Chains A and B, each alone.
Chain A
Amino acid sequence: MTAKKIFVHTFLVIGVIFSIFPFYWLVVMSTNDTSAIFASPPRLTFGGEFITNYKKVMDNIDFYRALLNTLFIVVVSTTLQLFFNSLTGFTFSKFKFPGSKVLFYLMMATMMIPAQMLLVPQFLIIKELGWLGSYKALIIPGISTAFGIFWIRQYALAIHNDLLEAATIDGCNKFGLYWRVALPILRPALAFLAITTFMGVWEDYLWPLIVLTDAEKFTLMLTLQQLKSVHTGDYSMVMTGTLLSTIPLIVMFLVFSRQFIAGIMEGAVKS
């Protein structure tokens, strides 16, 4: 047993080293000055410049306002997406109704269109709706996604039909089946969906760039771009900004991935 334990952990630790290295390097770069980054061989250990770099970032951009803007968008988007995608995904997985198959395949097909093809026509629709410059333009088009629905649908297939029938007999209507029965079981799936949605919205760049009109409402990714572009590029400052913008993602991941803890399915699926 211990030999197995050691083997498994060694395997994991080797993997971790590969996975973590670029991130570690990002941290190293943000604690050094630019010349240390380009020195040959490059410095691979932490330096003492982080505070200086941090101050430079804060001097150059309004980091915290952009952070708050982004947090607002991301929280609203993620909440709405979790609700609508899980509702639709659950419906597709557990009910048959006229047209359900066709509609499902139609939805799947939308994922196969190169997404960039639709980007700018969507911008013009946004413009006609008068949403330019508003966060509505960032939030509404993305509240229901084929990716999220497909994911929830695949996951929800595991929910036992007996369970739904029993609940129906107890007087649950269809929304009640979703809310009372499915949602608790879908928790790990929702956690993953929350993580990807959060990241997707957080890192989205082109769409906010074209629909936002006011620098005060810019998201973090847009604001960070303003650090780049001076010719005497202060690389360590850019890396510090990048690192700072990554930290909320890590926190978010830690929060949601706790939902992966096993045990929820027990009882729920037993027939």
Chain B
Amino acid sequence: MGNMLKEIYKNRALYLFISPFFILFLTFSVFPIFFSMYLSVQKWDGLGEMTFVGFKNFSYMFSDPNFWQALVNNVAIWLLANGPMLMVALVLAFVINLSIVKFKSFFRIAFFLPNITAMVAVVIIFQSMFGNEYGLINYFLVQLGLDKVAWLNSSTGVRVVIAAMISWRYLGYNAIIFLSGLQRIPKDLYEAAELDGATTAQTFFKITLPMLRPIILFTVMMSTIGGFQIFTEPQVLAGNQSPYPGSETIVLYMFREGFVYQNYGYAAAVSWVLFFIIGLISILNWKVFNKSED
């Protein structure tokens, strides 16, 4: 025990260095977190008295087909959007970073623009691209002698559209992350590889990928956390209507059930289940991508 205290005292500067985050956490987050835990076992309409309902909120949730549907939708959209996007982003960053590429800063800004472009413009574009009757894509399909696709009438179609929106918005963003991550790879490694006559592909798999592992872990973690909190895209795509079939994500479900229908305790319960789902998947990610870190 005395050793421990000594150890702590010895490292006091380090505690000071990490203290801002935890001070802010204690000040601004602890109470709300405990309160929402408490709320998750209550029934409350937001105004009247709270009634303790035990785990009824949870049992209702697990018996509600809409909840499971939302979970399926969410996982589908998440995989559809993030898997391919992260891979393409990594390749894109690698390519932009190649010495043969000219106008690097132009490409950087061009690919990053979707992330800056205001949602108002994005929504108009995507709605008019994927429209059933007047959509640009269907127009070209008809020109090519193919059939129109009713994108927004089937779950699969809607998920593809939403995944496309997400990939489009975050491809450049993730590429920028990788691009800055590439800067932490010493150049002499590449030079040595070149001397050994390695091809571009070999360099990518033998040097870039392993060296980027912590950065890949970062992007995977962030897209897991973001992917289970998808909200904006399905909501804006549907406009003022209720979400399209197959597009109701967990956060949308939580908002609708809880905050629109005034079942506040229930919303808190959903958010805690969501917390555990994200936590579980994050731990898996951590185990898979964190192997060689230390």
Contacts and interface: CB of A to CB of B under 8 A. Distances in A.
A140 B96 CA distance: 37
Contact of A150 (B118, B121, B182, B221): B221
B120 A238 contact: yes
B28 interface: yes
Interface string B257-294: 00000000000100100110011001000000000010
Given A149-B21, A178-B17, A265 B183 contact: yes
Given A8-B95, A9-B102, A26-B118, A264 B221 contact: no
Secondary structure call for the B interface: helix
Contacts of B183: 188, 260-262, 264-265
Given A112-B278, A157-B214, A20 B113 contact: yes
A91 B28 contact: no
A95 B92 contact: no
A144 B168 CA distance: 29
Contacts of B33: 113, 117-118
Interface stretch (B5-13, B42-50, B140-148): B5-13
B172 A144 contact: no
A246 to B, nearest CB: 6
A87 interface: yes
A263 interface: yes
Contacts of A264: 183
Nearest to B215: A154
Contact of A257 (B13, B102, B108, B121): B108
B62 interface: no
A91 to B, nearest CB: 4
B158 interface: no
A54 B97 CA distance: 38
Contacts of A112: 225, 275, 278-279, 282
A239 B185 contact: no
Contacts, number: 218
A97 B117 CA distance: 43
A50 to B, nearest CB: 16
Nearest to A119: B32
Interface stretch (A56-64, A65-73, A102-110, A208-216): A102-110
A170 interface: no
Contact of B100 (A1, A88, A260): A1
A175 B15 CA distance: 12
A22 B114 contact: yes
Interface string B8-45: 10010111011011101101110111011000000000
B177 interface: yes
B192 interface: no
A195 interface: yes
B105 to A, nearest CB: 7
Contacts of B195: none
A231 interface: no
A153 B115 CA distance: 24
B186 A254 contact: no
Nearest to A104: B18
B108 A260 contact: yes
A8 B100 contact: yes
A155 B101 contact: no
Contacts of A15: 92, 110-111
Given A250-B116, A257-B105, A155 B214 contact: yes
A8 B125 CA distance: 27
B116 A199 contact: yes
Contact of B218 (A145, A154, A185, A262): A154
Contacts of A195: 176
Interface in A237-257: 238-239, 242, 245-246, 249-250, 253-254, 257
A138 interface: no
B217 interface: yes
B25 A110 contact: yes
16 contacts: A25-B121, A26-B118, A87-B17, A98-B4, A100-B14, A113-B33, A125-B28, A154-B218, A158-B211, A174-B13, A185-B184, A199-B115, A249-B116, A254-B109, A265-B185, A266-B188
Given A20-B113, A23-B113, A263-B187, 15 more contacts: A4-B200, A8-B95, A12-B96, A15-B111, A19-B171, A22-B125, A42-B128, A84-B21, A97-B15, A117-B33, A118-B32, A146-B21, A173-B13, A238-B120, A250-B109
Interface of A: 1, 4-5, 8-9, 11-12, 15-16, 18-23, 25-26, 29, 42, 84, 87-88, 90-92, 95, 97-98, 100, 103, 107-115, 117-118, 121-122, 125, 140-141, 143-147, 149-151, 154-155, 157-158, 173-175, 178, 185, 188-189, 191-192, 195, 199, 238-239, 242, 245-246, 249-250, 253-254, 257-258, 260-266, 269-270
Interface of B: 4, 7-8, 11, 13-15, 17-18, 20-22, 24-25, 27-29, 31-33, 35-36, 92, 95-98, 100-102, 105, 107-118, 120-122, 124-125, 128, 168, 171-172, 176-177, 179-188, 200, 211, 214-215, 217-218, 221-222, 225, 229, 251, 254, 268, 271, 274-275, 278-279, 282, 293
